[in-house]
Amino acid sequence: MGAFTMDWRKLFLLVVVLSLAQLAKAQSPTYHVGRTPTAEEIHKWDISIGPDGKELPPGHGTAAEGAKLFRVKQCVVCHGGTGSNGPAPTLIKSDGKTKSRYPCLVPCVNDSNAMAIHAQYATTMWDYINRAMPLNQEGTLKPDEVYALVAFLLFKNGVIPEDQVLDAQSLPKVKMPNRDHAALALEWKHGTPIVAGYP
Ligand code: HEC
């Protein structure tokens, strides 16, 4: 009889513990910290632009507009007035004569591997500038401004003509100088994970 009472109590305890666990699960996530992000929050983080540019937002920009923004948005403060004479990496290949007074930090980005020359896809530049620049004010540029800044940098590096308008259709079609020369010749298809460093 005593044994039966013990078993009944154990069973009761087990039921209570399991019900509490169920309740806790319904109330908060596994580790009882944080919460499920809202669709709007996920949308804010989901800003990757693939090589085919499918995710590019509407908007457009030209090199002339970009030239102004390069100053107004303070790119010059870090990248230098010529795009190759500031403490931050070279964005515009230099004339070969003027030497920057700043050391080229590792990984050294200079005339030969500036992003406009080195990247396989123009969309990579759009994505980079949109998510990471201007440093310390990331995410403040509007799509039109990013299109214009990319147009300016591509024009100054001799990749596109000065009057070319960049938008969601024309940007992915820009033939980048390094398109076919990457160490890993990757024909990217939408949905394929992007290997670190490529494109
Ligand atoms: C406060 C300084 C600062 C400002 C302002 C700034 N940048 Fe940068 N930028 C940097 C630094 C530092 C890096 C290198 C970051 C790294 O490699 O992690 C960089 C990297 C870049 C790169 C990638 C270079 C490469 O080949 O790796 C691009 C493109 C770029 N910036 C564009 C811009 C544009 C366009 C603006 C203006 C809208 C801007 N930056 C404003 C500091 C700045």
**Amino acid 104: pLDDT:** 87
Residue 10 has pLDDT above 80, yes or no: no
Supply the residue whose CA is at minimum distance from atom 10 of ligand 1: 88
Average pLDDT over residues 136-155: 97
Between the alpha carbon of residue 43 and those of residues 47, 134, 145, the distances in Å are 7, 21, 20
Q: Which residue has the higher pLDDT, 34 or 88?
A: 88
**Can you tell me which residue has the tokens 């795009």?**
83
Task: Name the residue of 49, 68, 79 to mutate for ligand 1: max ligand atoms within 8 A of Cβ.
Answer: 79
Share of the chain above pLDDT 70, in %: 81
**Amino acid 191: pLDDT:** 75
pLDDT-derived band at 83 (thresholds 50, 70, 90) equals: very high
Tell whether the torsion through CA atoms of 93, 94, 100 and 104 is positive or negative.
Answer: positive
Average pLDDT over residues 94-115: 87
**Can you tell me which residue has the tokens 């076919």?**
180
Supply the residue whose CA is at minimum distance from atom 13 of ligand 1: 88
